Structure 1
């Protein structure tokens, strides 16, 4: 799945469960959303990769993802964080590099400049739980993630804890997840699940399942446990790199309380 990197070599991450995914987007004109590696341009070194956006920005660190949501007034930002619960923090990695690097020339001191930070199409959390990986990527300008459950692994082990949100509920009619943050209700589309059997995609029933303490998991229907299972929710609430002149991100950091700060 990986592509060549003009700036150097990137080791292909051969993880069997993830091989059922193809997160590569079709070639589009102009600059498409991607994840930028943090090589010191952000103050907080725990942010390994990030994607700046007009309405929502996201940063990825060891065992967590933090989202900064611009409020309706355009002046304030609300931050919430999702943490993979019940597992050791896993540092994210990336694959599918983009051809274009990003450079940051901030201030007069050239030693502080960052030249050639690479961008990627996919951010991975591998072996979060035994045999379970998570892949983040973009589709039609929106952030998505897939939970990939390897053969013999239990999808019930996956739990995501939401911190810093006002409300968290599942819509009884659509099955969508409704996240209250920043005076808005953000929608995460109901999950779909599938397995690939004999070269064809077989749908599996799946739904969001809320647990105690603001945790989220999945209820999954009958499936073949000997074959990888892909659970595919959709983050429909965010469009990145909106293209307006106000869409700038100078810095992002996550403090000890898990708050992502944008300037």
Structure 2
């Protein structure tokens, strides 16, 4: 019951915060143009221009400074969903998909949407620390609800969230890109790669595609985890490594690598955008 309440909260908080963020950016742009000659007002004041500006903004991870439920430590928004990191290092992906609706509803932007939550946890691993790394230039603010004590402004954003050494000899970092979250596994020489297992809760089943992707069955349809990539670094050279997913049971996955130099570390990047049907990304 607590987890269900938390998931409902993060969906609402995410939508409210993103709506505020977009409107605040538009308001700021409008104020900057106040008092100028109307003929010189840039088309950047249009809603489309503001949306385009937001689309190129590197947002990164935002730390919870009291604006969300205390169980959430970081959050990263994307075009089609939000990823949350809990204090135990668990990932919660809140995917959304608009339902089909009448043309009039589309015009008025009142089409309903469905949400689905997928969580990823590290089987047999332990997260001892959750911290942001590489602070970005973007600052964000949250004014959720009517309680000023819950409002936060000018919060820093980070490119990475480090989970430290989750398994012996295996460090995990989470990179927030423009559209999604990438999981990076840093495997030290001699570390046992078979211990690296990720469980996807909320998935109704997993299967491998012919292209090496993981197909995830959910209530929104089939989602996809892109084929992983891996490499080793020899000096300044990045040498590609053969890597593939390995499915374990109904809802777990791991990795298999081949043709590696056992004296060098391996970096594995599942590189997920998580794709929604029709080519959309989570």
Q: Which deviates the most, 76-85 or 230-239?
A: 230-239
Q: Count how many residue pairs are aligned between Structure 1 and Structure 2.
A: 210
User: TM-score, with normalisation over the residues of structure 1?
Assistant: 0.73
Is 1:193 aligned with 2:259?
no
Give the aligned partner of residue 245 of structure 1. Answer: none
Partner of 2:274: 237
User: Any idea what SS the aligned residue of 2:228 has?
Assistant: strand
Alpha-carbon distance between aligned partners in 2 of 1:238 and 1:96, rounded to the nearest angstrom: 27
Cα RMSD for the two superposed structures? 2.2
2:217 aligned with 1:180: yes
Q: 1:182 to 1:90 in 2, by over 3 A?
A: farther
Q: In the superposition, relative to structure 1, how do residues 30 and 207 fare at CA in structure 2: closer, same or farther (>3 Å)?
A: closer
Q: 1:148 to 1:221 in 2, by over 3 A?
A: same
Q: Shift of the alpha carbon at 1:67?
A: 0.6
**Corresponding position: 1:227 with 2:264:** yes
Deviation (angstroms), 1:139:
4.1
1:57 counterpart = 2:82: yes
Which of 1 and 2 has higher RCO (CA within 8 Å, sep 6+)? 1
Residue 153 of structure 1 contacts residue 225 of structure 1 at CA under 8 Å; is this kept in 2? no
Asked if the contact 1:95/1:122 (under 8 Å) is kept, the reply is: yes
> How big is each residue's C-alpha offset from its partner over 1:126-170, in whole Å with a ceiling of 9 and x where there is no partner?
100012112221445333221110122122211000111122111
Residues 28-37 or 115-124, more deviating: 28-37
Deviation at 1:238, TM superposition (A): 5.6
Between the aligned partners of 1:203 and 1:119, the Cα distance in structure 2 is 31
Q: After the TM superposition, which of the residue ranges 190-199 and 156-165 deviates more from structure 2? A: 190-199
Q: How does 1:123-138 map to 2 (within 5 A)?
A: 123-138=161-176
TM-score of the pair, normalised by structure 2: 0.68
Q: Which residue of 1 aligns with 2:64?
A: 38
Q: d(CA) in 2 for partners of 1:29 and 1:55?
A: 12
C-alpha contact 2:127 2:163 (8 A) present in aligned 1: no
Cα pair 1:71 1:184 within 8 Å, conserved: no
Match of 1:153 in 2: 191
| Unaligned segments of structure 2, at least 5 residues | 1-53, 100-111, 277-282
| CA shift for structure 1 position 190 | 1.0
Larger Rg: 1 or 2?
2
Question: 2:122 aligns to what?
Answer: 84
